[in-house]
Amino acid sequence: MKTPNRLGDIEITDPQAMRALAHPVRLAILDHLRRHGPATATQLAPDVGATPSVTSWHLRHLAGFGLVRDSEPGPDRRQRRWEAAARGFRFEAPLDPADEEGQAAARVLSQQMFRRYADLPSRWADEVGPALDPTWLRLAGLANTRVVVSAEELAAIEDGIERVLAPYVTRDPAERPADGRGVLLMRYVLPEGSEGQVGEAGSEEQAEQAGESGESERAGESGQAGQAGQTRKAP
């Protein structure tokens, strides 16, 4: 694994580490530890959908790849406490197409992450959105923007987004505003295939309707245009 980037993410490059993370319980463990801080296997178990003993096994497996580590002991020193090894984790498929192991591992992890968050927006709309203050609700929503760019330009867009987010992700908790609250920014970045496909929801007809120069649409309380992309969680 590479050293943390400007957002405090560890970058996973080892195919075995990618496969180790590509499990629903392990992804749930990391989500919990990043959001709520150190915890024991017993504390994690109800949230990740596994027994304490199974959760403990998954924690040890993650620790073997440096994704979690021992934390300071709690009041009950008899139970081992764990913490995430970084603010977040990211991975990239290898550039070398001949690296079949790396390509396959990245694909498996991508699929697991997409599945984990697939129904999150609809659950948010049903369970969280209706209870929000109008000020927050009008800032929420789903954005869908299509642009035509080179690979280098897309990398620059991603880098620019990270530069904007970095001060908010990495600032000390004591510096957060008193009226602040956690916000999950989900960012899917989906380059089209050679014939314009991005999956069942992205037909050629839809791509043509979006226009060659790129247009955006947003579903939300405000009805304003915006942009969405890849998923990560701030602490």
Residue 77 confidence (pLDDT): 67
Helix and strand numbers (H, E) in the chain are 9, 9
**Secondary structure (3-state) at 3:** coil
Mean pLDDT by 10 residues, the chain (235 residues): 71 92 95 93 96 97 93 75 89 87 94 92 94 94 91 95 92 94 92 76 46 48 32 38
Residue 39 confidence (pLDDT): 96
CB 105 within 8 A of CB 22: yes
Residue 4 confidence (pLDDT): 63
What is the Cα–Cα distance from 224 to 143, expressed in whole angstroms? 9
What is the Cα–Cα distance from 140 to 50, expressed in whole angstroms? 32
Tell me which amino acid residue 212 is: E
Residue 87 confidence (pLDDT): 84
Residue 17 confidence (pLDDT): 92
Give strand pairing partners of 219: 142
Residue 204 confidence (pLDDT): 46
Residue 234 confidence (pLDDT): 36
Give strand pairing partners of 142: 219
**Which residue segments constitute the domains of the chain, with CATH numbers given?**
9-91 (1.10.10.10), 119-232 (no CATH)
Helix axes 52-64, 24-36, angle to 10 degrees: 80
C-alpha Rg value of the chain to the nearest Å: 19
C-beta atoms surrounding 79 within 10 Å = 15
What is the Cα–Cα distance from 208 to 234, expressed in whole angstroms? 35
- pTM here? 0.72
